[in-house]
Structure 1
Amino acid sequence: FPVEISLSPLETADGLLVSAAVRDVSERKAAEARITELAALVESSQDAILAKTLDGRITYWNTAAQRLYGYTSEEAVGQHVSLLATPERKDEITQLLERLRQGEKIEHFETLRVTSTGAMLDVDVTLWPTRDAVGTVVGACAIVRDVSDRKRAEAELTELYRQQKHIALTLQRSLMGTPPAIPGLAAASRYRPATQGAGVGGDWFDLIPLGAGRVGILIGDVMGRGLEAASVMGQLRSAAHALAKTGMQPRQLMQALDAVVDDLDVPDQLVTCCYLVIAPDAGSVTLCSAGHLPTLVATPGDGVRRLPAPVNAPLGVGDILYQQSSAAIPPGAALVLYTDGLVETPGSDIEYQIDKLTTVLDDAFKLSGGLEEAADRVLAALLPDSDGHDDDVTLLLAQLPAAPLDIARTELPATASAVSAGRSFVVETLAAWGCAHRADDVRLLVSEVLTNAVQHAEGPVALHLRRTASELAVEVSDLSPQLPQPRLATQDEESGRGLVLVDTLADSWGVRPEEQGKTIWFAVRL
């Protein structure tokens, strides 16, 4: 083992003596070797390492610090560490030194530093105080790592993610479409994409004018997230819109949509959907829900309640016979439809959230601020953290149109006399309503439609007139399920021209299947 020997001469009476002191220096040698080893490690480190006094003067500067900042050890040692800070970050240096003076260790502090050439660096700095033998803080050390490449990569990834999300949301909004403004139907909608993950989802809604004052309202939610869900949503929305325009009953539309989902090349795809048809003249709403959340209805003076509806399985389950229901809804009442992103939150009971939504709506409508303000209040109450929801959210508020100004109805037998009786009823009714200027066109149209009903349908035949401020709608209903088909008649045919005439003279017309029979309707502008 290594020793240290000290020799000392001594004069004695017996002559000159030499004393020897032998000391074991193994621990000291080991410590010196360790210090040398650590110094070599510090000097060869790929991270910049520097030491400084508590007043900020640099006392040590390794080779990596020279490579990083461009200053040699001779140029840096003795300089104030603020040499490395940008002018606007000088106060940051002062604050860091104060924290070190208090004995605090600072880990992975990311900031900007400047090199000898003026270049800017993104750096990750870890600082810790150094102490003397009695534990007093006497200085500080710092390990500095250049993270500029990482920062650039993060910025590029963030921008790429932003672009991809923008593309996805643009695609989704394109697939979702913009519902048309429907005269007489006030509506307010809100859509919020998820702030976590891909953002894009499968929510959609639609407002569909069905003619003769009727309006269809659709809302749906494709289970899952991402472009696949948005793609399925787009296909279903287009199919649902086209099917609804045929005038089919809500339960029939759900049956057809279930077949569409089954045909999609997406295994185990489930979709919740709700379709309502508003009939203002009848003061009713017909509803079919495929596993969707309950529709709420806010009635003036009567608060907010759930609209009763049969419980049906979601679309995609298959082999389901969908059921619908009708409810009386007064003019001016508002329907509230939404997707689960609004009320389904982790750790919260969905029934409680729906009750909360009901309470918020009740308060909002009592303040009479309108649909837009009510929609804002709902989102503020149920989504207070606008940046923290992990599912897309759709909210739709639709206020039922006002009741028609006038309604007239009569029932006729399926005989030839019904045509002349129907014409007389129309002329008399329009004269009473002050609409005699349209009587000739309407009488001719009614004559054609009633003739078809008498010739091809089963009685009795119902004739229904409805007048609003801008439109007159006429409906002829019978018990035959056979729907008329427009066609071009040849020169020697007696029939085939009636619906062509209706299409020419009426501003709009259509046919809708009923639970029993069908209804042919047309409308003319007043």
Structure 2
Amino acid sequence: MSPETSMLAALQVPVYTTDCDGNITFFNEAAAAFWGHRPEVGSSRWCGSWRLFNPDGTPLAHEECPMAVTLREGRSVVGVEAVAERPDGTRAPFLPHPSLVRNSSGEVTGAINLLVDLSDREGLDLQQERLAAIVSSSDDIIISKTLSGIITSWNAGATRILGFTADEMIGQSITRIIPSDLLHEEETIIAQMRRGKRIEHFDTERLARDGRRVNLSLTVSPLRDRAGRIVGASKVARDIIERKQGDELQRLLFDELNHRVKNMLATIQAIAAQSLRRATSPQEFGLSFTGRIQALGRAHDLLVRGHMKGTDLISLLQEQVVLGSTEETRISLSGPMVKLEARVAVQLALVLHELATNARKYGALSVEGGTLAIDWSISSAEEPELCICWTEGGAPEPAPGATAGFGTMLIQRTMEASGGTAIIGYRQDGLFCEIRLKLGDAKYDTPAEAALFRFNERIEARAPRTHLDPASRNAV
């Protein structure tokens, strides 16, 4: 074997030679593996492939293959692809590189053909198509740019989030979407890219078409050419506005929780101190203190169900007064929709608990035939005000010498802390209480559009809604 033939045999790519008539004179092992068989040297012509096809799938005769054309026409055939079929039926696309072989006198003595297997290219093309589809359909921003900051690709996700189209942005500087006060970030990013370093989860802002600053999390990777040189950068940016909003909401919730816990502990401490001071026995203290804490607990259950944004007055009344019973026929509720903010709801819960406890122990709900009517309305004044009227009927006479207790003081101080008032008095057949609260930012139906909620509407007894003398004797 000549040195030249030994060199060809050692090559890892398919290569073979023919004489002037196209008879195969040599092929290496890579060529045999590519063809899937070993053609007969000296009798097989033009090409060792079992069968040949054009790229479009039409048959290609061996005498029309690039090697045959080169020998017949005395010229090299460049860039003409073909498909080889092996004996087992598998096919492989390839790019032949046939060249004439001449002796020292310049006479053609044969030809040599090097075959480039394009099977991997098809797989690469398929992979590139899949990657292109992923980039195109991604909800995230995916763009690429040169090291000088010129945008070279712009996907649909970038258009959706920032509003600019690919036609508008490709060829433009990346600084077009960077706020002026953040331009220094681009210098840092490019410096990192030149050093071949990847940047991950870098939170920043970019400008949308309408001028908005969009919160994004960037991942930036260097782009290399075939020689391994860094020629640009690819950026994947995820819209993190929802995460930012979630973080802010979490911070606000923690602050609010801290504030509420402190307030709640102060309230509990005050209730415990006053309950203990007024109690005549440990048992009385236990019952009164436990009841008030349970009232706070029920109010907080309502607030939690409303994500701590407040609760409606109807739910508060049903929890604190009706106590969730659907069979309580002696209590009636009537009034428009009112959504109370959390702080006011907790304070009003304590007031309603004190009134309801008194009604069940000493007032109208402590005797058969006693009734309780709770009506509320909203004033149409410049600063809307909620008025709640608590009217008991058929209640027993208060004990001689009864005076205001801790419940009365708790109600009045609680309402004062909420910026409201509570007037408590006793009429001929029961206790009456008028509570007034400034609504502020609370949600409510205006007087003109209010649709009344009614619970046990058949109870008709109502006391006239007039102010009471704060000095009236009471049993609370």
TM-score (norm 2): 0.36
TM-score, normalised relative to structure 1: 0.33
* Greater length-normalized contact order (CA 8 Å, ≥ 6 residues apart): 1
Larger CA Rg, structure 1 vs 2: 2
